[in-house]
Amino acid sequence: MQNNPKIILLNGYGPISINNELMELYAVTTSHGAIGFPLKSLRAENVTIIKDIDTFWSTTKKIKPENMCYVYAYDGLNEEDKEKIKAQSLLEI
């Protein structure tokens, strides 16, 4: 049986590649707050994985660093999921 990819929420600032599709997060974040995708692959300059949903929703209102992609997954991300994320800087809070 094939495992389905984890669904993640994304917001932040700067360009990313999600599942081999290029996207600018600024427009999504300012217009809609976040966008959800199955996590097959994610490339960004900087990624912060946020474990708490309330923190996820409030972070971009408090901090606006350039080229930061914030990621939230309802069931968390395991090591296999994290291997699908490629970034110069990867943080977890």
Quick one: pLDDT at residue 1?
42
Cα gap 33→55, rounded to integer Å: 13
Query: Which residue type does 18 have?
Result: I
Quick one: pLDDT at residue 64?
73
Quick one: pLDDT at residue 2?
54
pTM of structure: 0.93
Cα gap 91→79, rounded to integer Å: 14
| Residue 3 pLDDT exceeds 90 | no
pLDDT, tens only, 26-38: 999 989 999 999 9
The helix/strand/coil state of 24 is strand
